[in-house]
């Protein structure tokens, strides 16, 4: 009996000691989305979106509490924002970092330091550059959609899942930032009328945005960037046998070969093998006949020419978002690589693209 009493007493003491770690939902402000914009005097404007859960919320729904301040660092901003809310601010639920374009072009790596050191922040948090003011986007309401923080997160996750957009999380951004053979990238979004739309990819050099890749070219970037398992794309041409074609269930394999010519200069060859099912086709050829081979060749040639255009865009801005530098580095000695100015070398690197496209299926309609 005495043992049971002692055990109960110890258990009560243990539970009492743990009471300081309680997180009562109504008293904690979990940040879902954080936006950062450039401010005067080399400062930043931080705007956060916090779901408001209270006994007064109608029908059990949540509303958002929006807070904004100007500070020298994210930590200073958090301290200032904490003084303006009755809840304890917590960062463990952040899903998206929105970076205003002006700040992205100025460089924002120093501001990421605090998030990388915070173990409560997931390295899967999406990195997004906003064309315009990032704080304005999360301050707006979009009646046709769920609350803005969820809207942006679900929009990105959907595109990641169908491989229409490269995954641009805090992990990938940090990995590529420290890799001297590849430059980071970030998703690019834009407020358009009453919606938010993904407008392309922000191309970086180190931590600064250098150029934009429009949405129409993202599928080409995806083919050059990695292997696909379930992608999709649509392309149009002026050729009568290939006015338009939409392909889904795309599986692609990328192979990069670096060679050294007789003069000692490096060259890159990118080999793409693509399989896909035709979802829509507009043209004069009949896919149920041997003319399908002609369409496959036209698609292959179009991808080659357009992929080279995308590569030349990156070379012109001296930013290697597809990671060719890693393959060149592996073909060099350590000392040779360290003496190489990769961004300068990349801008002059001869690159050839080879593509083989194959139609797996073309629907149940036989023309």
DSSP for residue 240: T
- The mean per-residue pLDDT over the stretch 2-31 comes to 56
Is a pLDDT exceeding 70 seen at residue 159?
yes
Between residues 33 and 7, the one the model is more confident about: 33
- Distance, in Å, from the CA atom of 165 to the CA atom of 255, rounded to the nearest integer, reads 20
pLDDT, tens digit (0-9, with 9 covering 90-100), for 172-196: 999 999 999 999 999 999 998 888 9
Is a pLDDT exceeding 90 seen at residue 367?
no
Nearest residue to 218 via CA among 237, 197, 238: 197
- The mean per-residue pLDDT over the stretch 91-119 comes to 88
- Distance, in Å, from the CA atom of 42 to the CA atom of 103, rounded to the nearest integer, reads 10
pLDDT, tens digit (0-9, with 9 covering 90-100), for 256-303: 999 998 888 899 999 999 999 999 999 999 998 899 999 999 999 999
- The mean per-residue pLDDT over the stretch 36-58 comes to 79
Q: Are strands 208-214 and 228-236 parallel, antiparallel or unpaired?
A: unpaired
Between residues 327 and 118, the one the model is more confident about: 327
What lies within 8 Å, CB to CB, of 232 at 6+ separation is 162, 163, 164, 219, 246, 247, 248, 249, 250, 276, 279
- Distance, in Å, from the CA atom of 31 to the CA atom of 171, rounded to the nearest integer, reads 19
- State residue 82's pLDDT score: 82
Q: What share of the chain is helix, strand, coil (3-state, %, to 5)?
A: 35, 35, 30
Q: How many CB atoms lie within 10 A of CB 142?
A: 16
Burial of 340 (0-12, 13-18, 19+ CB in 10 A): middle
Share of the chain above pLDDT 90, in %: 62
- State residue 21's pLDDT score: 47
Sign of CA dihedral 38, 171, 337, 320: negative
Q: How high is the mean pLDDT of the chain?
A: 87
């Amino acid at each position: 009996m005495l043992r049971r009493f002692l055990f109960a007493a110890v258990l009560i003491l243990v539970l009492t000691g743990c009471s300081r770690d309680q997180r009562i939902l109504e008293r904690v402000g979990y940040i879902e989305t954080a936006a950062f914009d450039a401010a005067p005097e080399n400062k930043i404007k931080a705007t956060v979106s916090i779901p408001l859960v209270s006994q007064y919320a109608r029908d059990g729904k949540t509303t958002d509490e929006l807070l904004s301040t100007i500070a020298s660092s994210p930590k200073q901003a958090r301290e200032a924002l904490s003084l303006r809310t009755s809840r304890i601010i917590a960062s463990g639920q952040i899903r998206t970092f929105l970076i205003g374009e002006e700040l992205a072009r100025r460089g924002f790596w120093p501001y990421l330091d605090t998030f990388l050191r915070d173990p409560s922040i997931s390295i899967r948090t999406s990195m997004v550059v906003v064309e315009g003011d990032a704080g304005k986007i999360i301050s707006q309401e979009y009646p046709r959609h769920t609350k803005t923080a969820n809207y942006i997160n679900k929009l990105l996750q959907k595109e990641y899942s169908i491989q229409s957009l490269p995954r641009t999380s805090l992990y990938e951004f940090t990995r590529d930032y420290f890799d001297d053979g590849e430059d980071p990238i970030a998703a690019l979004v834009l407020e358009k009328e009453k919606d938010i739309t993904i407008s392309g990819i922000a191309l970086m050099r180190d931590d600064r945005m250098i150029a934009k890749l429009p949405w129409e070219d993202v599928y080409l970037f995806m083919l050059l960037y990695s292997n696909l398992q379930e992608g999709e794309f649509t392309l149009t041409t002026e050729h009568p046998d290939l006015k338009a074609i939409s392909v889904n269930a795309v599986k692609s394999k990328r192979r990069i070969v670096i060679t050294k010519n007789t003069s000692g200069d490096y060259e890159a060859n990118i080999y793409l093998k693509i399989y896909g099912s035709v979802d829509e086709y507009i043209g004069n050829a009949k896919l149920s006949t041997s003319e399908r081979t002609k369409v496959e060749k036209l698609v292959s040639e179009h991808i080659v020419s357009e992929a080279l255009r995308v590569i030349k865009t990156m070379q012109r801005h001296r930013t290697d978002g597809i990671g060719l530098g890693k393959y060149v580095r592996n073909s060099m000695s350590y000392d040779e690589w360290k003496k190489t100015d990769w961004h300068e070398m990349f801008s002059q690197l001869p690159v050839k693209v080879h593509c083989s496209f194959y139609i797996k299926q073309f629907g149940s309609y036989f023309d």
